[in-house]
Every structure is written in structure tokens, then in C-alpha cells.
Amino acid sequence: MRILNPDEFKMEKASIIESISDGAVFIYPTDTIYGIGCNAQISNSVKKIRKLKARASNPFSVIAPSVDWIKNNCVVTKDGEGWIKKLPGPYTLIFKLKNKKCVAKEVNSGLETLGVRIPKHWISKVVAEADIPVVTTSVNKSGQDYMTSIEDLDETMEEKVDFVIYEGEKEGKPSKIVDLTDNVKIIER
């Protein structure tokens, strides 16, 4: 596993974006905590993250490449429009899907909904440039503490990810979940 700081990442950005598009599983910073992800359209990569997290069925969210991507693939109601205006930000918005093929079925376990984020962080520009949805879930095994610094990284995950983009310790907490599928429900974590 390779650990890249933001400057090293910038120097190799084109080849790293290509590896993400091709299915690399990687750890990256966001505006809240560290996430583990991959191209959300590649089933085998998503399955690898499920195995690493020991998370058989709970759905994953994605970092959307753009607001237009969200509107093209999700049912966005009037309430949803209001929340989309708060992006980028520390929110995961849950929408009903209108295009079930926009992500691999392993992302949302075959549900009719999808959680989407656009973090207020430079990683969102990377996802936009790749022009693919990227799985975003906390770096931890189910039920354990999430990663805020490299010292928190579980050895099993360390051995199985392709690379880590590390920018130092994070002091955030996971994004706030806003369920926009029926009535608006805000879920604190």
C-alpha cells in the first residue's frame, strides 16, 4: 500500500484518476473524516470494500461527480432541491433512484434509494474530473471507530487497499444523513 500526501497526489493525479476509474480501492480525506472508496460502477471493487468492512448488506453512499449527476440519476423533489443547494457540504442526501444502473447493485444492496455526497473538499474535484460516482464510507470495520489519522488504520485494510491519500489528522465526524425519500428526516451519527 502506498501513502501519498496531497502534493504527491497532485504530481500523479492523471494516473491515479485512471486507476480509480479502473477499480482501485483507496482511502481518501473528505471534509469530515477519511473515507474508503472505489468506482461505484465496478461490482468487484465494491465487493472488496464490503469484505474489508465486514459489511454484508447495509448500503454505501457515493460521492457524486456533480449536481447534474444527482439530478439525472435520482428523484429530486422540491425539498431535495433545497438540500442540493447546501452542497458541497457535510451531508449525505438519500434520494429515490430513477436510474438503478448508475451504480453497481452492490453499492445500495438492490434498494430503490441511494445516498449521495459532494464533500466541501478538494476530493470532490477529483471525483468530478474522473466523472464517475465513488463509493464513500468510513474507514473502519463495522461497529469499530472510524479513521481520523493514519494510526487508526486497521492492519487488514492497510494490506488490501491500493493506496491512501493522507493529509493529516481529521477532527470531524461523519456526515449528517438527510433522508429525502418521503418526509425529510435528519439522522445524526
Instruction: Specify the pLDDT at position 188.
Output: 62
Among 116, 134, 117, 143, which Cα is nearest to 53's?
143
Among 9, 36, 17, 10, which Cα is nearest to 161's?
36
73-110 burial, b at 16+ Cβ within 10 Å, e below that, comes to: bbebeeebeebbeebbbbbbbbbbbeeeebbbebbbee
What single-letter DSSP state applies at residue 151? G
Instruction: Specify the pLDDT at position 120.
Output: 95
- The answer for residues whose C-beta is within 8 angstroms of residue 37's C-beta and 6 or more apart is 25, 26, 28, 49, 63, 134, 135, 136, 137
Q: Which domain holds residue 152?
A: 2-187
Instruction: Specify the pLDDT at position 189.
Output: 57
- Give the Cα-Cα-Cα angle 182, 188, 189 (nearest 5 degrees): 125
Q: What is the pLDDT along the chain (189 residues), one digit of tens a residue?
A: 899 999 999 999 999 999 999 999 999 999 999 999 999 999 999 999 999 998 778 899 999 999 999 999 999 999 999 999 999 999 999 999 999 999 999 999 889 999 999 999 999 999 999 999 999 999 988 788 888 899 988 888 888 999 999 999 998 888 899 999 977 777 765
Instruction: Specify the pLDDT at position 55.
Output: 79
Among 122, 173, 164, 128, which Cα is nearest to 146's?
173
Entry pTM: 0.93
The whole-angstrom separation of Cα 27 and Cα 172 is 16
CATH number for 126:
3.90.870.10
- What is the domain count for the chain? 1
Among 156, 155, 153, 176, which Cα is nearest to 166's?
153
